[in-house]
Amino acid sequence: MTIILSPEETARWEEGGWLSLEIQETVLEDIERQHITEPVVMTLAHGTVAFGVTGGEVR
Amino acid sequence: MATSTSLHSKGATTARSVWRETVAEVAERATQMLPECHGRIEAAVKMILAGDVELLPEGKAKVASQSNGTTEYIVCNGTCECKDFPKAPNGWCKHRISAGILKRVEERLQSTVSSPRDDHADPLSDAPVESPHGIDPRFITYLHGKPFIRYAGLLAMAHERGLVSLEATFISVTDQLALATATAVFSDGRRFTECADATPTNVPPHIRPHFPRMALTRCKARVLRDALNIGMVAMEELGEGE
């Protein structure tokens, strides 16, 4: 499964630091809440891969 | 027919013996590797022999509780749901140990290739993937591909290694800058001191109104990193845009 971050989220991700962490943790919470068990690839709005999630953890 | 039954019975007995011997061998190896978990390994072996451990797909395992007949714990990705997991050395509770032993036993028995024993291999094959600095992966967060250790992990490791005192105090606090210092003392007498700062702009947005507190957390994280010889930056030390 691939999830694409919005342009606003992409901008925050690219800021780095706490803003990135906030997005990463929000994504993990969403995945857990929706009981998604398959691997997830998070991509930025412009198509670059941000990170992957398997087994509830960022890879 | 009687012969067939007899042979089958003998074969089953032999297979059972081999299986039990293999469990004992792997458990012995586990005891050598994890001497501090001797009691938990003994309990794990009992659970395996009682058939209370079931390996599941994707490296997971289901282990029945010994304390009651209804609870089952799922062991997954080097973690367990039981109450002992956070307290056990490096998270090696009896459920996780039992899953690790059984997995290794099955691998050995299923192996058809005759190869020399790997005495350097971890006896518990559900061991977490090796992580930087040998730190338990539960305490590491990856961000932009870089590993950061969690303060909770530093504290847990410090307690394991004899932390007896950890004190942090403010050096100065203004509305734009907080400076703090922390001292950690260990049971062998070693003493470490470090400083750290926090400003309203280098803390998470939700902590901004209370940014001085982050200076305390950061200096404690730094002093524990010094004491534990960990070069990896703590997540709590992270500033905005780093």
Interface check B238 vs A, CB under 8 A: yes
Report pLDDT for B31. 75
Residue of A nearest to B79 (CA): A55
Interface check B144 vs A, CB under 8 A: yes
CA distance A13 to A19: 6
Tokens 């013996």 -> residue: B17
CA distance B78 to B95: 11
CA distance A39 to A42: 10
Q: Do A58 and B238 touch (CB under 8 A)?
A: no
Length of chain B equals 242
| Tokens, residue B149 | 């250790």
Domain co-membership, B103 together with B168:
no
The range of the structural domain enclosing residue B105 comes to: 2-130
Domain co-membership, B19 together with B98:
yes
Domain co-membership, B98 together with B203:
no
Residues of chain A under the 70 pLDDT cut: none
CA distance B223 to B110: 48
Residue of B nearest to A23 (CA): B143
Domain co-membership, B173 together with B116:
no
Q: Which residues in chain B are closer than 8 Å to A53, comparing Cβ atoms?
A: none
Q: Do A18 and B144 touch (CB under 8 A)?
A: no
- The answer as to whether B106 is a domain residue is yes
Answer with the one of B99, B130, B161 that is the final residue of a domain. Answer: B130
CATH number, domain with residue B192: 3.10.450
Q: Do B240 and A17 touch (CB under 8 A)?
A: yes
**By C-alpha distance, which of B133, B132, B122 is closest to B100?**
B122
Domain co-membership, B23 together with B123:
yes
Domain co-membership, B30 together with B98:
yes
Total domains present in chain B: 2
Report pLDDT for B69. 65
- The answer as to whether B52 is a domain residue is yes
Report pLDDT for B106. 74
- The answer as to whether B140 is a domain residue is no
Domain co-membership, B30 together with B86:
yes
Interface check B51 vs A, CB under 8 A: no
Domain co-membership, B155 together with B121:
no
Residues of chain B under the 70 pLDDT cut: 1-17, 32, 57-58, 68-69, 77, 107-133, 240-242
CA distance B4 to A41: 55
Domain co-membership, B6 together with B78:
yes
Return the bridge partners of B230, or none: none
- The answer as to whether B89 is a domain residue is yes
Domain co-membership, B119 together with B186:
no
Entry pTM: 0.51
Domain co-membership, B115 together with B198:
no
**By C-alpha distance, which of B146, B35, B32, B24 is closest to B90?**
B35
Task: Give the containing element (helix H, strand E) for B211.
Answer: helix B211-228
Work out how many CB contacts closer than 8 A connect A with B: 42
Question: Among A21, A56, A57, whose Cβ lies nearest the Cβ of B143?
Answer: A21
ipTM exceeding the 0.90 mark: no
